[in-house]
Structure 1
Amino acid sequence: MTRRWLVWLLAVLAGPAWASITLRDDRGVTMRFEHSPQRIVTLLPSLTETVCALGRCALLVGVDRFSNSPPQVQALPKLGGLEDAQVERIAALKPDVVLAAPSARVIDRLEALGLRVVIVDAKTHADVQRSLGLVATLLGTPAEADRTWARIQQALAEAAARVPASVRGQKVYFEVDPTPYAAGADSFIGETLQRLHMGNVIGPALGPFPRLNPEFVVRARPDIIMAAQRSLDEMARRPGWAGLPALRQRRTCGFDVQHYEVLVRPGPRMGEAALQLADCLVALSKVAR
């Protein structure tokens, strides 16, 4: 009886970690895992941050070259990016699962080698909430997804309360790439701006992250421009942009690399991103006075 009781107790204690998991990823593929993965590779910074936010950072064995948060992931093997992930090095790490974006070019090659690849796509706030739940299910930490989402919502509410009435409703042009690509109203960045009571020069019809004709921005005449500082510094040299009131009046938010990365990653630091945007809007309201 004593031995039988001990076997039962060990099974109870180990049960949650070794229970099988069935999930459907964001390309619609259903997968079954015999147990929660113990060796994980992530090929997108937001996915790296998600794994760590859900309490499983120690299970990461490799990440993409741009993953740099939290600090402990910087010591992990860097395995390339969306365009050039290093398939052989990934396979050599023998991961139980690879978490990747749908735009990663190596998905078929990884699966041809027998690796399990879970695709996670996040373009909106709802996508971020869903992706937290998806990864948490895979990792066996569903309660952490709820707690992480609650923290994001709390920070969004705090950020919204900070935004002064004097700037609310003004139209923002948020540049995600100097090509230029912009954050549309239906993107996670656009939804954050909306939560902060701000307008957007990019309407829903153009999609979440449209590539624009530079003349579009000239015609749109945004009230406020937000971008990486290095992009902001050269905007006045673009044809017609020097006359934009937002640039002439310095109604701009320029972000250094570290802070800009937070803004453009749809993951657990989305609340932190909202607070950064709110801080800039507060500063702009003081200049306007």
Structure 2
Amino acid sequence: MSGPAVLRLLWRTARWAAAVAMAVAGSAMAAPVQVVDDRGVSVQWAQPPQRIVTLLPSLTETVCELGECAKVVGTDRYSTHPQAVRKLPKLGGLDDASVEGIVALRPDVVLLGISSRIIDRLTALGIKVVALEPRSQPDVQRVIGKVATVLGKRPEGDRLWRRIEGELKAAAAFVPPAARGQTVYYEVDAAPFAAGESSFMGATLKSFGLVNVVPASMGPFPKLNPEYVVRANPALIMVASRSATALPQRPGWSGIAAVKQQRVCAFSPDETDVLSRPGPRMGEAARVMLKCLQRLWPAGQGAR
């Protein structure tokens, strides 16, 4: 075979190989997607959704961490991370999300919390909904996996969870020995609602060797009688900074060991945002907690 003939053959072979590769890639991108959400409802698409609305900050962050932030067309008002989502249309919160605003964005899927009040209305309008409920650490792992499945990126979801696990373990390794074994009350809201042992925050506290005064039997985020906290007498309190200054004024709370000894982690609004979101920044949240423990129990200082 002459040189030009060989070149023509190689060129045709290369074009054929490229066409096959593109066809394979195209079929992978267009592969059908199916997920069963936390209601037990199966949702299907002919290909991964291209227009996504997220109505929980943790779900927004998960989509973006998986590399699909550009597909998010609207979020809840509390989604502020990463920076790119701040410019997107804001569609309300858990109790006042705008159905009309969502419909106008023509989403292929709406990712939201299972307690959202608009699930039935969106479904009746033909909008596909995936309802998820990340409350515990196993929940977070499951939710990340489901979001990754919706995006057609399950391997990336598995890698993300392994990264989070690694960050949580790394933070736990640096907890001051004197802090381990201390009792802790983590206040989510001044009602007061607490983060119990079974919550995702509670799991981090447990990995730090802290003893949550709200056992798993009470649920992940129970509303407490303030007297319960007084009787529990925690050695450490974790709370938002806006509530910390008022702790001594609560009836009976001035006698709590944590208040008397000023063992209070008062988290800034930005820190509170990180701590309250069960998603990709859980490792960062663990480091926020760790920083406070290291301040309250400096190296070489015993428990008091």
Confirm or deny: 8 A CA contact 2:176 2:298 kept in the other structure.
Answer: no
State the Cα RMSD in Å: 1.6
Residue 244 of structure 2 corresponds to residue 232 of structure 1: yes
Residue 139 of structure 2 corresponds to residue 127 of structure 1: yes
Please report the TM-score for the alignment, with normalisation by the length of structure 1. Answer: 0.96
Identity of aligned residues (%): 52
Pick the structure with greater CA Rg.
2
Count of residue correspondences: 289
Aligned runs of 1:63-102 on 2, under 5 Å?
63-102=75-114
* 1:199 alignment partner, one of 211, 220, 229: 211
Give 1:251's aligned residue: 263
Quick check: 108-117 or 237-246, which moved more? 237-246
Distance 2:165 2:282 in 1: 9
Confirm or deny: 8 A CA contact 1:158 1:275 kept in the other structure.
Answer: no
Give 2:65's aligned residue: 53
Confirm or deny: 8 A CA contact 2:56 2:76 kept in the other structure.
Answer: yes
Give 2:198's aligned residue: 186
Gaps of 5+ in 1: none
Per-residue CA deviations over 1:102-142 (Å, capped at 9, x if unaligned) read 11111111111110000111111111111111010110111
Confirm or deny: 8 A CA contact 1:43 1:64 kept in the other structure.
Answer: yes
Aligned runs of 1:1-289 on 2, under 5 Å?
8-286=20-298
Confirm or deny: 8 A CA contact 2:185 2:212 kept in the other structure.
Answer: yes
Per-residue CA deviations over 1:5-55 (Å, capped at 9, x if unaligned) read 765443212112110011111110011111000000000000000001111
- Equivalent residue letter for 1:243: G
Distance 1:190 1:198 in 2: 9
Aligned-pair CA distance for 1:4: 7.4
SS in structure 2 at match of 1:38: coil
- Equivalent residue letter for 2:202: G
SS in structure 2 at match of 1:162: coil
Gaps of 5+ in 2: 1-11
Confirm or deny: 8 A CA contact 1:246 1:252 kept in the other structure.
Answer: yes
Confirm or deny: 8 A CA contact 1:173 1:202 kept in the other structure.
Answer: yes
Distance 2:67 2:150 in 1: 12
Confirm or deny: 8 A CA contact 1:167 1:285 kept in the other structure.
Answer: yes
Distance 2:259 2:128 in 1: 48
Distance 1:5 1:123 in 2: 48
Aligned-pair CA distance for 1:234: 1.2
Distance 1:4 1:251 in 2: 69
